[in-house]
Amino acid sequence: MKEGASMQELTEQELLERVSSSQEGSFAVFLYTPFCGTCKVTERMLDIIMTMMPALPLVKCNINFLPQITREWQISSVPCIVIIEQGIEKEFIYRMQSVDELYLKLLPLNRM
Q: What are the pLDDT tens digits along the chain (112 aa)?
A: 345 567 899 999 999 999 988 666 899 999 999 999 999 999 999 999 999 999 999 999 999 999 999 999 999 999 999 999 988 889 999 999 999 999 999 999 986 5
Measured in degrees and rounded to the nearest 5, phi and psi for residue 4 equal: -80, -175
Residue 23's pLDDT is 64
Residues whose CB is less than 8 angstroms from the CB of residue 41 and which lie 6 or more positions away in sequence, other chains included: 96
CA-angle at 34, arms to 86 and 6, nearest 5°: 55
What end-to-end distance do the CA atoms of the chain give, in Å?
A: 29
Residue 28's pLDDT is 96
Residue 1's pLDDT is 34
Residue 25's pLDDT is 80
Residue 86's pLDDT is 85
Q: In the sheet that 80-85 helps form, which strands lie side by side, from edge to edge?
A: 8-9, 58-62, 27-32, 80-85, 88-93
Distance of CA 8 to the CA centre of its chain: 10
Measured in degrees and rounded to the nearest 5, phi and psi for residue 49 equal: -65, -40
